[in-house]
Amino acid sequence: METHFLPAEKESLEKVFKQNLTIKNDIGKTLLLDAVPILYLILNDKRQIVWANKATLDFTGYKELDQILSLRPGELFNCSHAYETEGGCGTTEFCTTCGAAIAINAGLNGKIEYQECRIEQKDSKDSLDLKVTSTPYNSDGEKFVIFTIEDISHKKRRVALERIFFHDIANIVGNIDGYLKILDPSNIQGFNDDKQILISLSQDLLDEIDSQKLLVNAENNDLPLNISTVNSLVLLTDKIKKFQRHYITTDKNLVLSPDTADYNLQTDATLLKRVIGNMIKNAIEASNHGGTITVGSFIKDNSIEFWVHNETHMPREIQLQLFHRSFSTKGTGRGLGTYSMKLLGEKYMGGKVSYTSTQSEGTTFRIIISL
């Protein structure tokens, strides 16, 4: 079978059950491992599960060990990429950046390896951040890997939110403070100009706080939908006007596509504005000096597509990690924009968020909503 990273072939279920008996004989009494809260797996040289402790079963919702024997870790945790190819977990191009796949491969080659792994789950659209350790283990002449997993999702979320708060909000507050110090009421024109800038910065501050509150509620499954009538043309026009006044757009061109659809749809206005706002902001930040960002929408096949295009191309290594909870091109713990697009746009709005990026045509992010 074709693979983009690790070998695709698997052992038969009969062979896996024999390996399970071998491991049980090696381990003996498993009461101690079953009492440990960390998830323990033992994988064969085809990366299939041949043993797991109780914490693993509890975490994944399985009742019996036999139910998960022969699965690979990505299949156990319902990774969205584990079902994209016939070979399954470890064989897609996305797996080349997966910490779990990298660690397991190192363990099978005789090296102890520590990695962090990000998994977007296929059905729930939930995102997991895991700390994984892979340790080589031989039994009865066969290679195995002891694979331990610690769920660090809550830690990662807290750290990311703290850093965003401290960095982005501190920048806005710093700008407000700077303008307040230079306000000169005696210069009427200058005072009015600075006043408008301060109003805009204050609105940015409130938007940033609302954005983080929205994201926290979404991740806690505590985000009720508020459906109303939204006009596509009015929404995009308002968004463009707002960003045209923003300092990040100073040396760039933000324009509305002339064939933008003028359509009234039923959706959650706040969430749609947030998703499109993140698309626009990412496009502006990715654009070079003098670059053009185009925003538009159109109706097709009983759905409406909102899109944002910029002229730059994303490197493939960045594309492979987009939409992950902890990944950012802006540095560790920064930039939850693409992740929140996916979370809000798909899990809550029921839409489809995607992108295309090529050297010749640049990058386009889109959200498609059924009508």
Count the residues in the chain. Answer: 371
Are 214 and 316 in a shared domain?
no
Read off the tokens for 339: 């992740």
In a domain, 289, yes or no: yes
Specify whether 252 is located in the same domain as 323. yes
Exposure string of 202-222, with b = 16+ CB inside 10 Å and e = fewer, is eebbeebeebbebbeebbeee
What pLDDT, on the 0 to 100 scale, is given for residue 336?
63
Instruction: Give the closest residue to 163 by CA, choosing from 331, 284, 278.
Output: 331
> Is residue 205 domain-shared with residue 255, that is, in the same domain?
no
The type of residue at 210 is: D
22: domain CATH number is: 3.30.450.20
Q: Are strands 142-151 and 127-139 parallel, antiparallel or unpaired?
A: antiparallel
232 with 369, same domain?
A: yes
- pTM for the model stands at 0.72
Q: Which residues of 110-138 are buried (b: 16+ CB within 10 A; e: fewer)?
A: eeebebebbbbebeeebbbbbbbbbbbbe
Residue 2 forms part of a structural domain: no
Answer whether residue 7 is part of any domain.
no
Q: Supply the range of the domain harboring residue 218.
A: 153-223
Number of domains in the chain: 3
* Cβ–Cβ < 8 Å for 103, 114: yes
In sequence order, the β-bridge partners of residue 366 are: 307, 354
Query: 169, 192, 223 — which closes off a domain?
Result: 223
Express each pLDDT in 250-283 by its tens digit: 899 999 999 999 999 999 998 999 899 989 998 9
Which of 151, 180, 209 terminates a domain? The answer is: 151
Is 219 within the bounds of a domain? yes
Averaged over 344-353, what is the pLDDT? Answer: 91
**Is the per-residue pLDDT at 162 higher than 80?**
no
Residues 371 and 331 in one domain: yes
350: left (phi over 0), alpha (psi -120 to 50) or beta: left
Q: Within this chain, do residues 138 and 171 fall inside the same structural domain, yes or no?
A: no
* Cα 122 to Cα 77, 125, 269, 321, 347, distances in angstroms: 9, 6, 26, 15, 11
> 336 with 196, same domain?
no
Query: What percentage of the chain reaches a pLDDT higher than 90?
Result: 54
Query: Are residues 216 and 352 part of one domain?
Result: no
Per-chain mean pLDDT for the chain: 87
Task: Give yes or no: residues 81 and 180 share one domain.
Answer: no
Does residue 249 carry a pLDDT above 90? no
Main-chain dihedrals φ then ψ at residue 121, nearest 5 degrees = -80, 140
Annotate 245-265 with b (16+ C-beta within 10 A) or e (fewer).
ebeebeebebebeeebbeeeb
| Domain shared by 113 and 172, yes or no | no
4 in a structural domain: no
**pLDDT tier, 31 (very low <50, low <70, confident <90, very high otherwise):** low
Determine the pLDDT at residue 167: 66
User: Quick one: pLDDT at residue 161?
Assistant: 67
Residues 169 and 208 in one domain: yes
> Which of 89, 122, 151 is where one domain is finished?
151
Q: For residue 45, which of 109, 94, 91 has the smallest C-alpha distance? A: 109
Q: Measure CA of the first residue to CA of the last residue in the chain; give whole Å.
A: 40
Q: Looking at the structure, do residues 176 and 262 belong to the same domain, yes or no? A: no
Mean pLDDT lowest for which of 29-43, 91-105, 270-284, 351-365?
A: 29-43
Which is higher by pLDDT, 183 or 371?
371
Mean pLDDT of 14-27: 90
Q: pLDDT band at 333, cuts 50/70/90? A: very low
